Amino acid sequence: MYRGRSSRVDGGGPWILGVNFNHHDASAAILRAGRLVAFAEEERFSRKKRASGEAPIRATKFCLSAAGISLDDISAIGLGGDYERWRVLAKIKDDGSTRPDDPERLFPTVDFPRSDLPAIYPIDHHVAHAASAFWPSGFHDAAVLVADNQGEGVSTSLFHGSPEGLRLIKNYPAPVSLGLYYQRAAEYAGLYNRTSEVGKLMGLAAYGRPTTRVPLCWRDGPAFPELTHVANDAGAEGYFQRSAQLLDYFAKNCYPYEKASAEGAMAYTSFAASVQASLEDVLLKLASELHARTGSRNLAIAGGVGLNCTANGRLAQRTSFERLFVQPVAHDGGSALGAALEVHRRLAKEPPNWTMEHAYWGPSFRDDEIRASFSAAGLVPERLADDDLVERVAGVLAEGDLVGWFRGRAEVGPRALGGRSLLGHPGKRDTWVRLNRAKGREMWRPVAPSVIAEEFPRYFDGPHASPFMIVAVQAKEEIRSLIPAVVHIDGSARPQAVTRAANPIYWSLLCAFGRRTGISMLANTSFNRDSEPIVGSPDDAIRAFRAMPEVHYLVMENFLVRK
């Protein structure tokens, strides 16, 4: 803990701020009395995808504004990583420059003496991830799996969560990182750079068969037995050594024996399928070990690898766990929430009493702000009552038009969930093509469905109806031809089950579309161009709308405009 003002509690409970600004995915979250009030990622404000190298200054200011408080009201700050410990592990010399966890870097515009800042608690990165998955899961008891690139020299961790806290069972070091393995594989296939997501490899894998020799296997844990040994304590040097080894192995052993450009990705389908299958096999082994060690019926998942919908679907189907919760902000942005929750537990001496049932924790906008943006853009919208808006939009979607949908508080995490979405008719195959073309994406990439929760069993086989579009399931064979825009080549989909309680207007839109078409579902992808963050403001939405000739309608709150 960095010394500062001691924690205090007012009549409504303490305000706790969690932040992540560890290289990428900068974010901030605010709790009161252990319950989430606001949560946002810096990229939505800075417009720099993944906010690499940025501090979550604007995200923090939004959270404070949404809570109606100032930094002076915050009782404690949780950091989503122990950065000083990482400096030691990585053997980074202190050159006297500002430390990455220095509050003055995070709050450069806050005119407080250093001693007046709240107490700051660094939380181990994987503990923050685990806390972000377990405490909001609604589970009294759970096995917790954290897998990512790495955090403080650790790449995979197994925990047992209970009301007493998170007990570490085992962890695995950075040289056997599953996240690094998948990232280098995506790079080899031409699908990864600083602004793109490794998840593209997951979509490509469905087009191939796992027939390629790859280096990852299970040897009492994740292992790369064909690669030269790297010491577990080798720090940053060993991490980069392993990274180079993986790329070298792929080029020497995996067709077509050369790192790709994005245009050549389809030559790497079998490679992608083999990497995906090896990752899933290792995750199943880890889950099996967790079940044996905890005896829990519940599994909670976080860490960047937790964004792999296909792997999550296999874990849901092929393990002994009965219930599954995957943190929708599984990547490093979620560690801000986890750090805040863990600080609350430690200071309050009791577990947070809150369940994450939706992801709508970001900014929303007033009518006057939206009118001003339309006016500045020279657009004249029509304002409609809720019911009229739903019926009008359902009608244009049923006719095959694409719609930009910007309503309510923004989602957190990389999946659009009916807050900042591009919507289309799932029953028309060309919807898939047009949405990818509008976004400037590769044409082979899949599009996901949003479906009313009540109708989920009609369309999909799977025990977990995820509200976060993060667990893949198989579409029932008899309905695949009815919804071709949202079923991938292998018959899978990654549906969002929408409840009326979580998002009543979006749920009503799905129902209205269902009355017209017999399909209570929409094709839903994020409202952004490729390599850009999801739109954050009305001005962002208008710019994106104008850059997408295929999208003819834009909804912002109750305003509708036609291109």
The per-residue pLDDT for 72 is: 87
Catalytic residue among 23, 24, 126, 229: 24
The per-residue pLDDT for 85 is: 73
Nearest of 329, 181, 152 to residue 246 by alpha carbon: 181
In this prediction, residue 7 has a pLDDT band, given cuts at 50, 70 and 90, of: very low
In this prediction, residue 107 has a pLDDT band, given cuts at 50, 70 and 90, of: low
Q: First CA to last CA across the chain, in angstroms?
A: 54
351 near 84, Cβ under 8 Å?
no
558 near 385, Cβ under 8 Å?
yes
Residue 14 phi/psi, 5-degree rounding, is: -75, 145
The per-residue pLDDT for 12 is: 75
- Between 558 and 196, the more confident residue is 558
Q: How far is 203 from 527, CA to CA, in rounded Å?
A: 19
What's CA 531's distance to the chain center, in Å?
15
Q: How many CA atoms lie within 13 A of 236 on its CB side?
A: 9
80 near 128, Cβ under 8 Å?
yes
The residue assigned the tokens 């190298």 is: 53
Tokens in use for 408? 């309510």
Q: Which residues of 91-102 are buried (b: 16+ CB within 10 A; e: fewer)?
A: eeeeeeeeebbb
The per-residue pLDDT for 99 is: 53
Q: How far is CA 547 from CA 519, 527, 544, in A?
A: 29, 11, 5
24: annotated active-site residue: yes
Tokens in use for 107? 């709050």
In this prediction, residue 114 has a pLDDT band, given cuts at 50, 70 and 90, of: very low
pLDDT digit string (tens) for 344-397?
Answer: 999 999 999 899 999 999 999 999 999 999 999 999 999 999 999 999 999 999
The model's pTM is 0.94
pLDDT digit string (tens) for 172-212?
Answer: 999 999 999 999 999 999 998 766 679 999 999 999 999 99
H/E segment holding residue 74: strand 74-79
pLDDT digit string (tens) for 117-176?
Answer: 788 899 999 999 999 999 999 999 999 999 999 999 999 999 999 999 999 999 999 999
Domains of the chain: 15-126+335-348 (3.30.420.40), 137-326 (3.30.420.40), 367-562 (3.90.870.20)
**Residue 341 reports pLDDT greater than 60:** yes
Average of pLDDT values for 87-110?
Answer: 57
DSSP 218: E
The per-residue pLDDT for 9 is: 39
Q: How far is 134 from 141, CA to CA, in rounded Å?
A: 8
Beta-sheet pairing, 496-498 with 492-493: unpaired
pLDDT digit string (tens) for 299-309?
Answer: 999 999 999 99
In this prediction, residue 82 has a pLDDT band, given cuts at 50, 70 and 90, of: confident
Q: How far is 245 from 247, CA to CA, in rounded Å?
A: 6
Q: How far is CA 387 from CA 383, 417, 504, 511, 553, in A?
A: 12, 20, 11, 12, 17
**Residue 84 reports pLDDT greater than 90:** no
Q: How far is 17 from 13, CA to CA, in rounded Å?
A: 13
154 near 86, Cβ under 8 Å?
no
Beta-sheet pairing, 165-173 with 142-151: unpaired
- Between 116 and 350, the more confident residue is 350
Mean pLDDT of the chain: 92
The per-residue pLDDT for 2 is: 30
**Residue 496 reports pLDDT greater than 50:** yes
The per-residue pLDDT for 89 is: 65
pLDDT digit string (tens) for 420-478?
Answer: 999 999 999 999 999 999 999 999 999 999 999 999 999 999 888 999 999 999 999 99
336 near 16, Cβ under 8 Å?
no
In this prediction, residue 105 has a pLDDT band, given cuts at 50, 70 and 90, of: low
Q: How many CB atoms lie within 10 A of CB 266?
A: 14
Give percent of the chain above pLDDT 90.
84
The per-residue pLDDT for 111 is: 47
271 near 182, Cβ under 8 Å?
no
Residue 345 phi/psi, 5-degree rounding, is: -60, -40
Q: How far is CA 423 from CA 197, 453, 556, in A?
A: 21, 18, 13
Residues whose CB is less than 8 angstroms from the CB of residue 68 and which lie 6 or more positions away in sequence, other chains included: none
485 near 429, Cβ under 8 Å?
yes
The per-residue pLDDT for 96 is: 47
Burial class (CB in 10 A: 0-12, 13-18, 19+), 35: middle
Give percent of the chain above pLDDT 70.
92
Q: How far is 218 from 224, CA to CA, in rounded Å?
A: 8
